[in-house]
Each structure stands twice: as structure tokens, then as C-alpha cells.
Amino acid sequence: MTDFLTLAEDIAREAGDMLLAKRPTMSAEIETKSSPTDVVTALDTASELLIRERIEAARPGDRILGEEGGEAPGESDVRWIVDPIDGTVNFLYGLPDWAVSIAVEVGGRVVAGVVNVPTRGEVFTAALGEGAWLGGARLRCNTGVPLPQALVATGFGYSQAGRAVQGEVVAEVLPRVRDIRRGGSCAIDLCSVAAGRVDAYYERGINPWDYGAAGLVATESGARLGGLNGRPVSPDFAICAAPGLFEELHDLLAPLDPERGA
């Protein structure tokens, strides 16, 4: 795992440095994916290409799943899960909350993860069973926080119908918690739970490349990460918080049927 983590961190740092040097303006070449608000820039593609090339050079035969390029087959039971820019809209607008995320999965289980937030000079790392770290500091999520005092992060999807449901859900959650934060990057939100910068996080519509690395950072900090009604985290739904608060937030969200219309 140390070798995996070192390689992932080196690559994530290189991609982050490239993106900082070449960060675009709103006049940059932009395409859309699932909706007019779901954007991809030329640098999303360039970042993923750099990451794939570095992994393939160091680990030929491993599989790679990337947000932009899909899954590349391989011969080993190792799969790299890559988000070249998590928070592309923030990146495009010059907002600081965007990240390069690289996770390593062995036999279907994530064993190492790196989330590089270049604008903040922060690199979150985690290895299975070895804790979560920011630089030389070990991360511990906030514990013992009751739901009414919880600062809760969330995000919104790209489809119009899905956003309508998310708006209804957050309207029910907001009066029952300390406050809501919407940063625009799932990976950073999960790392923020790990670092104690927020107490909890929930969202519908995130993908494995969004939570692959950051999910391990969160769970290695002591947080619980899962879906609704005992299901694992998935694109259907994600909740992350320390045990106790996780259950309280789940019991608030589940009756709201936040997955409806999916």
C-alpha cells in the first residue's frame, strides 16, 4: 500500500501543478456532458491523460477508470480510479475548491487514496487500516455532535428534475441542522468531514471517481460512509459522518425519499 500511495501522490501532485500553471479563463474551450451545466474543459482531458500515462508507465497491466476516458482494461486485480478535476466548475471560475483525486482499488476494495487540492497546497492521503493524513497531521472526524448542531455539506446534480428534488430535500434539512455548506467538490467535502471542517455530508448522484479516494480518507478518519437503508455508498446516495450523527442524519433524510425521480 505504501508503494501505491507514494505513486498516487506523486502523480496527483504532478497533475495539480500542471493544472495550476494552465488554469483557464471562462473563454477556454468548454464542452458539456450530461446537461448544459455539466462542463468539461480541455484540461480535464489533459489531466486525465497525464495521470493515465504515468500509471501505465509504472504499473502496466493495471486497470484504470477515469471520469473522462472511461475504463481501460487490464490484466491485474488492481484498478486505479481517477478524477482529473473534481470541481470543474470551480476550476473554470477561478474558485479554489477543486481537486485531483486518485484511488487504488485491489480486488474491489479501495486500499489507498490521494486528494490533492492544489490551490490550497493541501494533499489528503489515506491507506487502508493506516489512517488518514493531511501533511504530517493525522485526521480525526468530529465526534459527539448532535444533528441540530451539525454543519452539513452537500452538493447538487446537473439534471433539472434531480435538482428540484435536491432543493426540496435541503429545505427540510436546513431548519434541523446548524447550517448547510455547498463547496462544489465531493472529494473536498468528504476530506472536510475527515478534517473536522464540517460534521457531515450527503449527496445524490456522485460517482466512484468522486468518492473513491476521499471516501477512504473519510472512513480512515473514523467517519462512516454509506447509502440509505443499509446500502453501500453509490451514485444513488451518499451519507458521511461520525457514527451517531450518521444515523441521525440518515433518519432525517430517508423519509424525504431523496432518491426519488432517479
Each residue of 128-144: pLDDT tens digit? 999 999 988 999 999 99
First to last CA, the chain: 36
Q: Is 85 annotated as a binding residue?
A: yes
**Rounded Cα–Cα distance for residues 142 and 195 (Å):** 8
Please report the sign of the dihedral spanned by the C-alpha atoms of residue 42, residue 56, residue 190, residue 170: positive
What gap in Å lies between CA 262 and CA 259, rounded to an integer? 6
pLDDT of residue 27: 44
| 236 assigned binding-site residue | no
Q: Tell me, what's the pLDDT at 31?
A: 57
Q: What is the CA radius of gyration of the chain?
A: 17
For the chain, give every domain's residue range: 1-138, 147-256
CB-CB neighbours of 73 under 10 Å: 7
* Whether 102 contacts 213, CB under 8 Å: yes
Is 14 annotated for ligand binding?
no
Its pTM stands at 0.93
Indicate the fold that domain 147-256 takes in CATH: D-Maltodextrin-Binding Protein; domain 2 (3.40.190)
Question: 257 among the known binding-site residues?
Answer: no
Query: Cα separation of 48 and 129, whole Å?
Result: 28
pLDDT for res 26: 44
| Contact status, residue 179 vs residue 151, Cβ threshold 8 Å | yes
> What confidence score (pLDDT) does residue 146 get?
98
- Residue length of the chain: 262
Determine the topology of domain 1-138 in CATH: Fructose-1,6-Bisphosphatase; Chain A, domain 1 (3.30.540)
Asked if residue 17 belongs to a known ligand binding site, the reply is no
Q: What is the pLDDT of residues 59-70, one digit of tens each?
A: 999 999 998 888
pLDDT value at position 40?
A: 64
What residue ranges of the chain have pLDDT lower than 50? 26-27, 36-38
